[in-house]
Structure 1
Amino acid sequence: MARKRYDESSGAGEHHERWLISYADFITLLFAFFVVMYAISIVNEGKYAVLSDALGNAFGGRGAAQQVNTHVEPVLPLSHIVNRKRAEAARRERERLQALAENLSATLLPLMKSGQVRVTQNARGIGIEINASVLFEQGEAVLHRDAREVLRQVADLLKDHPHRIEVEGHADDLPIATPQYPSNWELSAVRAASVVRLFIEGGVAAPRLSAIGHGSTRPVAPNDSPVNQARNRRVAVMILASAPEPLAPGLQ
């Protein structure tokens, strides 16, 4: 008996709901995708390990996936990094100044013991206060030979440092009026310049140096006795600390 031919026009055997199968597959895959995304969003080492193994087994065979390293180094803000570097630079600067102050004290120790020289350190820098009688004859601005030797040793310690140096001349209130020095202003300024000139000869860069004459305007003791007047006749050498850089925003 001849097989009955299929009548294509009759529509027999046609399924109008086949799109549901593809739609269901799509929904299933979409659900799986969001589950994976949710799992990844939670920082949990155990879940990462399970997910890594599962994906490795599914796509490349057992052992194909390596364990995900969930350890993440914290990222510091730029301001923290900048301020940390500046703090480290400031610490090294303090250590350099402290070492310089110790070397200067060792060099000037005999004069410090006799009370003719003082070495101090503060936030502004290192101060060396030298009694004028150690350096000059009274009313003169020419350095003694012994004083020149001591100052050369100081210059040798200072020449390799970058700090600015201020040399200040000070006088007592006794008036002076000579053809060379009409007042204590001139005398104190020339004395400071004499020390600056010796430092330059000793290798200290000239742009780092400045000479200042204060006359009798900044006494360290009342000018009421010869002893106090001798204290006020002095030369002060100030090694200035580098100005600290401002903090970056965020840690001020």
Structure 2
Amino acid sequence: MNERHDEADQWQEEHSAELAKAQASAQHRDISRPWFEGWQPDERINEEDQSYWLLTMVDLMTLLLVLFVLLAAYAYQQKPAQPTWVDSVFEQEFPPQADPATELQSPTGALSGHLYSGALVLPTPPTTEPEPAYEPEPEERPASARSPLAGISERFADLGDNVDVTTIAGRINLRVGEEILFPSAEAELTESGVAVIEQVAARLERESYPIIVQGHTDNRPIQTARFPSNWELSAARASAVVRALVDAGIEPWRLSAVGYADTMPVADNFSAEGRAENRRVDIILDIPAN
């Protein structure tokens, strides 16, 4: 037994230098081993050294950098070139010796031009005025060729102050005030009102154009059993005039009645005179243009 111990001690003494050298070399390798020496950790790597994950991040950053460089290069190649045709276009469209008056010789020449990238280049407009496409209407024309509006308006000239005749937007408006047609806050025609409506009907019965009767009031409120508001009063007055026109010989299919209450005033409602103008009946003659 003692012999074995002696042999072990002897062997350790003989190889102690080599063991110390190997131990120092192993310790040096564990401490100085770089993080990029391998993908898989082993027992030689210090457990506290966790820097090996940087390899993956560096690879990722490198790939992203390459991707951005490729995208930038592709975008630069796809950038459209600046147009170089502008000067040549103006030289072709506007030669120095060209006469601008000859640019519009065809019906389609008014919008002639060239399209480049959505731009429309128009020719210079003519300096001379074009010939009129129609002849001016002579001052004196036969009665058969005169405007129908002018001829019809003259029929009501003898009605005096009872009917105000105006022409608006191709229509003739016969305006009759409330004081001639109705008592205050009523919708029954007076005798003078019936007479005026009969005179109007006598001048319209030979025609066939539509007739629109509009009733209007002022802004003073009304509340009775028959007329709860100005809407009912204005509509009832328009209907009364329509019935009087039918009784005077106007075809019913030509007539229509509309009540506007106080929504279409022609004067202010702050004075008695203005309110009197707003209480009216308009007889609209819808005459066709031909």
Q: TM-score, normalised by structure 2?
A: 0.49
User: 1:156-194 CA distances to partner (integer Å, 9 max, x unpaired)?
Assistant: 111110111000000000000000111000000010000
Whole-angstrom CA distance in 2 between matches of 1:171 and 1:242: 29
- Equivalent in the alignment of 2:156: 104
- Equivalent in the alignment of 1:240: 286
CA contact (8 A) 2:269 2:275 kept: yes
1:234 Cα deviation from its structure 2 partner: 0.4
Whole-angstrom CA distance in 2 between matches of 1:128 and 1:94: 21
- Equivalent in the alignment of 1:119: 165
Whole-angstrom CA distance in 1 between matches of 2:257 and 2:282: 10
Q: Residues 1-252 of structure 1: matches in 2 within 5 Å?
A: 95-106=147-158, 108-109=159-160, 112=161, 117-242=163-288
User: 1:48-91 CA distances to partner (integer Å, 9 max, x unpaired)?
Assistant: xxxxxxxxxxxxxxxxxxxxxxxxxxxxxxxxxxxxxxxxxxx9
What is the letter of the counterpart of residue 225 of structure 1? S
1:227 Cα deviation from its structure 2 partner: 1.1
Whole-angstrom CA distance in 1 between matches of 2:150 and 2:201: 17
Whole-angstrom CA distance in 1 between matches of 2:145 and 2:269: 38
Which of structures 1 and 2 has the bigger CA Rg?
Answer: 2
CA contact (8 A) 2:218 2:261 kept: yes
What is the letter of the counterpart of residue 143 of structure 1? L
Whole-angstrom CA distance in 1 between matches of 2:144 and 2:257: 28
Whole-angstrom CA distance in 2 between matches of 1:144 and 1:93: 39
1:222 Cα deviation from its structure 2 partner: 1.3
Question: Quick one: structure 1 residues 181 and 94, their matched pair in 2 at CA, closer, same or farther if it must change by over 3 Å?
Answer: farther
State the SS of the aligned residue for 2:155.
helix
1:96 Cα deviation from its structure 2 partner: 3.0
Pairs aligned (count): 148
- Equivalent in the alignment of 1:74: none
What is the letter of the counterpart of residue 189 of structure 2? L
Whole-angstrom CA distance in 1 between matches of 2:273 and 2:195: 26
Identity of aligned residues (%): 39
Q: CA RMSD in A?
A: 1.7
What is the letter of the counterpart of residue 104 of structure 1? F
Unaligned residue ranges in structure 2 (runs of 5+): 1-142
What is the letter of the counterpart of residue 240 of structure 2? S
CA contact (8 A) 2:149 2:170 kept: no
Question: Quick one: structure 1 residues 150 and 161, their matched pair in 2 at CA, closer, same or farther if it must change by over 3 Å?
Answer: same
Q: Which has the higher contact order (CA 8 A, sep 6+)?
A: 1
State the SS of the aligned residue for 1:238.
strand
Question: Quick one: structure 1 residues 222 and 148, their matched pair in 2 at CA, closer, same or farther if it must change by over 3 Å?
Answer: same
State the SS of the aligned residue for 2:156.
helix
1:125 Cα deviation from its structure 2 partner: 1.4
